[in-house]
Structure 1
Amino acid sequence: MPRGQKSKRLQGADETESLRGDQAAAAAAEECPTSPVSGGSPPSCPAPGPFQEPQGASAAGPPGAGVSFPRSDEGAQSQAEAGPSTSLVAPSPRSAPPDPLTRKAHMLVQFLLGKYKMGECITRAEMLKAVKKKYKEQFSEILRRASEHMELVFGLEVKEVDPGKHFYVLITMLDLPSEGSLTSDRSVPKTGLLTNILAVICLKGNRATEEEVWESLGVLGVYTGRRHAIFGEPKRLIIKDLVQPQYLEYRQVPGSDPPRYEFLWGPRAHAETTKMKVLEITARLKGTVPSAFPKLYEEALRDEERRSLPAKYWAIEVSLVLTKC
């Protein structure tokens, strides 16, 4: 092998190992190798059936490497002109090598998740200590990147509640009435994954194939058949925490032979959130506005109108009763 190619491969391996080291602080026990077991032979392919891994997913990088941290204002104008994509914000995990600030942002994400699990308030001084004080001058950029990652992957907003004392809290963005079912025992919240899947379903005409959903989740570093450093086994997580509680419906595509599968909004998602709310989060993460998605925006408006009809009729009926009193 030419020496230049060998050096390039070694450099890429060092960068990947650095990312793994950052995440091992909070989830080392859950990390698993991305290459086949000893002997070099590839693992046997599972029999056809639901939750199959899309082709090419294994080449996208280590689990837990997560996503890169794009600037929310970049590409907003071009996105509005080109139309929405199936993913929320992030480019491919392989689009750029991780720089020191991105690695520190990953470390800060781990720190924030730890604080969330313990239900503790967060101070700027604690966050700066977690990423090392020598990065004080770059801390604002590190916090921005970490905050975007928390929003995109975990559905948590890092909000400053006391600018004078620099106190921060983590707020769930989807704000479901039964949020506890997705964050039991203050475990890692799954609302980020749920929001992503609900958005993909909307963008795909209210139903999304299994392949389309896994392609979108792959942007977040979540692949079927591969244990994630933070979420664990993705297939089990989606079935147990999203499908079984009826946030999502998972069914065979009617008439498909061989069988193919698709996702739809579940009854619980229809009851506890709206298309407009999901669209607002999607637009915010893309650094644009809901009207940048004209077709989906119009559908969300119609959905809001349908939801308001019973309340309007009830108000009219009450007013008629009152006039007779």
Structure 2
Amino acid sequence: MPRGQKNKLCTGEKRHQAQDGTQRQRGAEATAAKEEALPSSASPPFEVLTQRNHAAGSRSALKRPQRALSTTAESAGASRIRSHKGANCQIEKKQGSSQPPVSMMQPAGDPVSETASVLVQFLMHMYRMKRPIMKADMLKFISKKYKKHFTEILRRASFSLEVVFGVDVKEVDPTKHCYVLVSKMELPNNGTIHRGWGFPKTGLLMNLLGVIFLQGNCAAEEKIWEFLNKMKVYAGKRHFIFGEPRKLITQDLVKLKYLEYRQVPGSDPPRCEFLWGPRAHAETSKMKILEFWAKINHTVPSAFQPWYEAALRDEEERAKGTVALQAETDGSSP
């Protein structure tokens, strides 16, 4: 081959390699950006081993959660600051815009799960804004190729919202396909507890109430932290969704009367324990908490014996109390 042609060929190959290297680098950067801006596929936060044996103690039900809450928490909430500066920040700037975040990219791997994760960000934004959500707005987050999977995408997004944040997706107008997000409990500021930027803490609270219930309606503080540590939530270490967890559960939720935190009588050295607070009793029930845990585990409340029986007794007592109160009210009416 003539030297001139050979040199041109070599130059062309080098140029091609350089372009190829640049494309690979850009692809890697895009992937990294996507991983920062978008959550990973949604999956159950943890799975408590179902106890079907009546003789099994409540402690065994909490022995080995198979997945940490952080798995779904990270996927549903993106990554705290990075997500806020990325996809969510784009939404915040528009204040009410239903356009998809600029950082949304073509999902890799399982596109249905990853699109559901992006949808979670949008839904949480609308929840904080206290605005209804239209199906047409949600479809803007879904590429043409996957619009036929809308029902499944919404189902997965709804599951993440429920198990991580304690928020239900409700269709309020089937004709216009209008949805709202409803918190399972009435925590202040849409579940964020403190005003300003933050994620709802309802899901964590419901998990804590579940631990207390399964521990016999009173859980030692070490059992609570043992459970939280398996969810990768540690005392003194700020969590990207829950903030500083020790302050949250021993001060904030106690002050709001969702939890009771007290010293164990006669304990030496002093030990503390958690119980349900009066607002927890008022806003939820043992059966609702059991249903929540059952959904996480993809099972039914009756699989949790003997707590299911305890929850049924609690429902009966609540019903009797409601009837008695109604009779008293009717009797005092003029």
Output the TM-score relative to the length of structure 1: 0.63
- 1:194 pairs, out of 194, 197, 205, with 205
Kept in 2: contact 1:153–1:192 (CA 8 A):
yes
Q: Is 2:279 the counterpart of 1:301?
A: no
Match of 1:91 among 58, 64, 67: 67
- What is the alpha-carbon distance in structure 2 between the residues aligned to residue 293 and residue 92 of structure 1? 20
Matched-pair contact (CA < 8 Å) for 1:251–1:263: yes
Say if 2:37 is the partner of 1:21. Answer: yes
**Alpha-carbon displacement from aligned partner over 1:74-98 (angstroms, at most 9, x marks no partner):** x99x9464788439997346989x8
Q: Secondary structure at the match of 2:123?
A: helix
Residue of 258, 272, 280 corresponding to 1:269: 280
* 1:68 and 1:91 in contact (8 A); partners too: no
How many pairs are equivalent? 262
Q: 1:171 matched to which residue of 2?
A: 182
SS of the residue corresponding to residue 156 of structure 2 reads: helix
Query: Which amino acid letter does the alignment assign opposite residue 183 of structure 2?
Result: T
The one-letter code of the counterpart of 1:21 is: A
| Shift of residue 110, structure 1, vs aligned partner | 1.6
SS at structure 1 position matched to 2:273: strand
Among 132, 156, 164, the residue aligned to 1:121: 132
Q: Paired residue for 2:119? A: 108
Contact 2:43 2:71 in 1 (8 A): no
Measured in 2, the distance between the counterparts of 1:95 and 1:317 equals 49
Moved more, 197-206 or 230-239: 230-239
TM-fit CA distance, 1:252: 3.2
Kept after mapping to 2: 8 A contact 1:231/1:237? yes
Structure 1's unaligned 5+ residue stretches are 1-13, 24-64
Match of 1:231 in 2: 242
Question: Which of 231, 240, 261 is the aligned partner of 1:250?
Answer: 261
Q: Take 2:138 and 2:206, find their aligned partners in 1: how far apart are those partners?
A: 27
Give the 3-state SS of the residue equivalent to 1:294 in structure 2: coil
123-132 vs 202-211, which moves further: 123-132
Shift of 1:113: 0.9
Q: Distance in 2 between matches of 1:158 and 1:301?
A: 26
Distance 1:17 1:227, change over 3 A: farther
For 1:203 and 1:134, locate their aligned partners in 2 and report how far apart those are by CA, in whole Å: 45
Classify the secondary structure of the residue corresponding to 2:140: helix
Task: List alignment gaps of at least 5 residues for structure 2.
Answer: 1-29, 76-108
Q: Residue by residue, what CA displacement relative to the aligned partner does 1:11-50 show, whole Å, maximum 9, x if unpaired? A: xxx9998544326xxxxxxxxxxxxxxxxxxxxxxxxxxx
Deviates more, 1:308-317 or 1:183-192: 308-317
Is the 2:259–2:274 Cα contact (8 Å) retained in structure 1? yes
Structure 2 CA distance for aligned equivalents of residues 163 and 299 of structure 1: 37
Q: Closer, same or farther in 2 for the Cα pair 1:254/1:317, shift >3 Å?
A: closer
- What is the distance in 1 between the residues matched to 2:133 and 2:36? 25
User: Does residue 142 of structure 1 match 2:153?
Assistant: yes
Deviations 1:249-290 (A, max 9, x none): 123344444444322111222233322222233333433332
Q: Is 1:69 matched up with 2:43?
A: yes
Q: Which moved more, 1:195-204 or 1:125-134?
A: 125-134
Give the Cα separation in 1 of the matches to 2:181 and 2:228: 22
Q: TM-score, normalised by structure 2?
A: 0.62
What is the distance in 1 between the residues matched to 2:66 and 2:144? 28
Cα distance, 1:151 vs structure 2: 0.3
% identical equivalent positions: 48
In the superposition, relative to structure 1, how do residues 290 and 253 fare at CA in structure 2: closer, same or farther (>3 Å)?
A: same
Secondary structure class of the residue paired with 2:170: strand
Determine if contact 1:89/1:286 at 8 Å carries over to the other structure: no
Cross-structure match for 1:4: none
C-alpha deviations, 1:281-307, integer Å up to 9, x for none?
333343333222231122122223333
Amino acid at match of 2:200: P
Counterparts of 1:274 and 1:221, CA distance in 2? 27
- Does the Cα contact within 8 Å between 1:242 and 1:248 map onto a contact in 2? yes
Shift of 1:200: 1.0
Cα 1:282/1:71, change in 2 over 3 Å? closer
In the other structure, the counterpart of 1:53 is none
